[in-house]
Amino acid sequence: MLQIFLNGYSAISIEFLTEMPRKRMTEGGIYPAILGTIYLIVGSMGVAVPLGVLSAIYLNEYAQPGKTKWLIEMAINNLAGTPSVVFGLFGLAMFVKYMGFGASLLASALTLALMVLPIIIRTSQEALITVPEEYRYASLALGVTKWQTIRQVVLPAAIPGMITGAILGVGRVAGETAPILLTGAAYFLPRLPDSIYSQFMALPYHLYVIATAGTNISQTRPIQYGTALVLLAIVLSVNMIAVSIRRHYRKKLRN
Amino acid sequence: MSGQNNGKQTEIEVRGLNLWYGNNHALHNISIDIPKNSVTALIGPSGCGKSTFLRCLNRMNDLVKNCRIEGNVRIDDKDIYSKEVDVVDLRKRVGMVFQKPNPFPMSIRDNIAYGPKIHGFSKNEIDSIIEDALRSGALWDEVADRLSTSALNLSGGQQQRLCIARTLAVKPEVILFDEPCSALDPISTSKIEELIMELKKKYTIVIVTHNMQQAARISDNTAFFLTGDLIEYGKTDQIFENPKMKPTEDYITGRFG
Amino acid sequence: MSNRKYQEKAIESLLCLSGVTAVVILFLICIFLFRDGLALFQNYSFIDFLIGTKWYPTSQPNQFGLLPLLFGSIIVTFGAIIFSVPLGIAVAIYIAELAGEKEADVLKPLVEILAGIPSVVYGFFGLVVLVPLLQNILDLPTGQTALAGSIMLGIMALPTIISMSEDAISSVPRSIKDGSLALGSTEWQTINKVILPAALSGISAAVMLGIGRAIGETMTVMMVTGNTAIIPGFPDGLFVPVRTMTATIALEMGEVPQGSEHFYALFAIGSVLFITTFITNIVAEYIKKKYKFNMGAGQ
Ligand SMILES: Nc1ncnc2c1ncn2[C@@H]1O[C@H](COP(=O)(O)OP(=O)(O)OP(=O)(O)O)[C@@H](O)[C@H]1O
Ligand SMILES: [Mg+2]
């Protein structure tokens, strides 16, 4: 890890972060890959967070123990354990081929959204469980409907936990390679993506490409280290934020 | 035994109420008339069904899984378990204060404004409701200068009075109290007792308590429950000085577990 | 009034709908994966796929034998487990039983951070550090071997194993531990004879999930194992390049024409992978349930 940090640090400059790759990616920056990763995060979180939070609300606040609930939780557990490359295959068959999105940002973002959905649901559920039952009773006893109670009292109290979940999801999306490799990430693109149907570059795949398939692998080591460091920095800082929010929140709950 | 009407106008009329939690038959054929603008105390040993009965009056038992209810509960001459009744409206009319103070994690102002806001009052109306409710809840003088601080910083007794004020803010007709003082110190307790005596002028009050003196001090009528049965119901003075039933006497004189 | 009731009902239905999407997604994954996977067997024998020992997807006639890839996955996973299970459990015991609050406060976030590192970064690290190291130390023609994959996967499976085992160990009731210590057992005897057996099913569930993780891991394996599709021997297979099911899919999908036999063969591999992890998940879940029940009855 230290090695990545030291070697990566010396490779990083403003130009590295804001320029296009040059000469078959042996020189220049990684701007398009950073941008692609950001698009992916926004796209997949935009789908997964609302869906995941709503699912968690259903499971915690509405679903009665029984077949439906059992089935949903079983499905979530299995989705959480399904390898990312299988999600990639699914995205390829469903979004790229069947729905005709082609290899694109849209297909990749949707695939990643499905992949992080279990994480979002679980952390949201955890957050909802920590909201004391008394709040719900107090609100219902005031003649407030169940949904209003959830919106006005339960959700605000659960938000910090849910944000943690979403941030963990961001870390996961930023680092995943296999699903986007099968659904739209490009080896190299001379231009930035201009629509949701374009192919795109992304940091993790870019690192894989320049580390294993470049024209002159050992000569481009500095670029590889730089890319690895940027990716690592994004993912780790995102995770660290999530973990510290969670800690802060748990401590507050205890007092 | 069935409850008697004590001269005043009846607000809550219960007939043949039975309740089951799964197979546990928790209330047996309860009939009772609770008069308007008075304090009615429910006493009895732990687990006898006082809270369960109380929760039947604002249908909070609807939230309990496997809970089945038979019989008739009429408030203001309307059957509250009939199909046309909207539980949400019912709970607006029949407020509840819980054993443990449970303010929302919001400011004092927002706690009080919570109900009225959702029920669609305008901003100006809400401002005056807040002051009225806090005054009626005997809390205004203590918190007037810090309405926007968190309710969680108040003392337990203040929190409980805030919860009462929060209930008053939605303008109920009936207020149910489930052991409102059991988590409080003696001084806070006497403040709440005073408050309840004051509130009965405008509201019908039903209160569960384990504290015999409290029941004797504040209530007009007392109902004694034992293992899901209503054993005796009458004027508080009569119940405490001249109980008709043996178990009531045993309980009141402390010859009971 | 009834307006509001309808509104509440509508909201509940909407929420139910989003809850059910997880089931729908799982269902769609099965359909799409199996549909394209089964398409292979229109022209290619199912038996040949299942017991074929050669994966020559581009030769004439092409051969799609599952075994080399399956064994590739198994040997890498097996190596990872041998390495990460004892280490993971040891760390879990340390965190749960021996470490002070301060040490646990450092170790736990460290484990969480380990879990957050992207697999491609692990792969890169393996490629630039571990692979040359193995090549030099073991004097191999190439360091890109099953062993390199095993070590990297072992590191990656550690967080899952540690955090779940730690939960299992921590949930052994205090009274049991104190009872043993009060009888004059040493701390170590207590851990060994009392706590570990009580936490065993929890730990097994953790190991199952760790295995699931390792089998499904793609990028790291692809970058450090050399990707040669031959059936590895044991244990010497650890020191030669191998190719896993996951790596095969990721490597070859880019080059195959959609709708070709090779394309469907990759989906067939994906189906095998999906079924395998599905089973590990179910087993882990089952063990966990049983263990919760036991703990409940024991108290
Ligand atoms: N939510 C519930 N689910 C199942 N059974 C319940 C539930 N609430 C209460 N009971 C059962 O119903 C019976 C009456 O309980 P209830 O809480 O009404 O007693 P109580 O008189 O209020 O006791 P306490 O004085 O301890 O508050 C008890 O046997 C109790 O176990
Ligand atoms: Mg009670």
Q: Are B90 and B58 in contact (CB under 8 A)?
A: yes
Shortest distance between the Cα of A212 and any Cα of chain C, in A, equals 7
- pTM of this structure: 0.88
The chain A residue lying nearest B96, using CA atoms, is A141
What CATH number is attached to the domain comprising B148?
3.40.50.300
Q: Tens digits of per-residue pLDDT, B181-216?
A: 988 889 989 999 999 999 999 999 999 999 888 999
B253 has a pLDDT exceeding 50: yes
Q: Determine which helix (DSSP H) or strand (DSSP E) holds A168, and give its type and residue range.
A: helix A155-175
The pLDDT value given to residue A214: 59
Tokens representing residue B144 in the block: 């007037």
Shortest distance between the Cα of A99 and any Cα of chain C, in A, equals 12
Q: Are A228 and A4 in contact (CB under 8 A)?
A: yes
Asked if A144 lies within 8 A of B88 by C-beta distance, the reply is yes
What is the Cα–Cα distance from C206 to C203, expressed in whole angstroms? 5
Q: What angle do CA A215, A216, A219 make, to 5 degrees?
A: 150
Q: Are B159 and B187 in contact (CB under 8 A)?
A: no
Which ligand 1 atom is nearest residue B52's CA? 18
Domain range enclosing B211: 2-252
Ligand 1 centroid distance, CA of A141 (Å): 18
* Residue B257 domain flag: no
Which member of C15, C216, C223 has the closest CB to residue A208? C223
User: Which residues does A155 contact at the CB level (< 8 Å), separation at least 6?
Assistant: A57
DSSP-based three-state secondary structure for B188: helix
Ligand 2 centroid distance, CA of B214 (Å): 16
Residue-by-residue pLDDT tens, chain A, 255 positions: 666 666 766 666 666 676 676 666 666 678 888 889 999 999 999 999 999 999 999 999 999 888 999 999 999 999 999 999 999 999 999 999 999 898 899 999 999 999 999 999 999 998 999 899 999 999 999 999 999 999 999 999 998 889 888 988 898 898 888 899 899 887 777 778 888 888 888 888 888 888 887 566 667 778 888 888 888 888 888 888 887 887 777 666 555
Q: Which of residues 76-95 of B touch C (CB under 8 A)?
A: 86, 88-89
Average pLDDT for C53-81: 86
Q: Are A93 and C33 in contact (CB under 8 A)?
A: yes
The pLDDT value given to residue B2: 45
**Number of domains present in the structure of chain B:** 1
**Number of domains present in the structure of chain A:** 1
What is the Cα–Cα distance from A142 to A138, expressed in whole angstroms? 7
Running DSSP on this structure, what letter comes out for residue C139? Answer: T
C-alpha dihedral over C41, C46, C49, C51, to 10 degrees?
180
What are the CA-CA distances from residue C135 to residues C127, C131, C141, C181 (Å)? 11, 6, 7, 48
What is the Cα–Cα distance from C168 to C161, expressed in whole angstroms? 10
φ, ψ for residue A15, nearest 5 deg: -60, -40
User: Sign (positive/negative) of CA torsion A188, A190, A191, A192?
Assistant: positive
User: Sign (positive/negative) of CA torsion B12, B15, B20, B25?
Assistant: positive
What is the Cα–Cα distance from A220 to A206, expressed in whole angstroms? 13
Q: Determine which helix (DSSP H) or strand (DSSP E) holds B42, and give its type and residue range.
A: strand B39-43
What CATH number is attached to the domain comprising A114?
1.10.3720.10
The pLDDT value given to residue C27: 96
ipTM: 0.88
Ligand 1 centroid distance, CA of B176 (Å): 16
The pLDDT value given to residue B1: 43
Residues of A in contact with B57 (CB under 8 A): none
Domain range enclosing A92: 2-254
Residues with CB under 6 A from ligand 1: B 21, 24, 26, 44, 46-52, 64
What is the Cα–Cα distance from C271 to C289, expressed in whole angstroms? 27
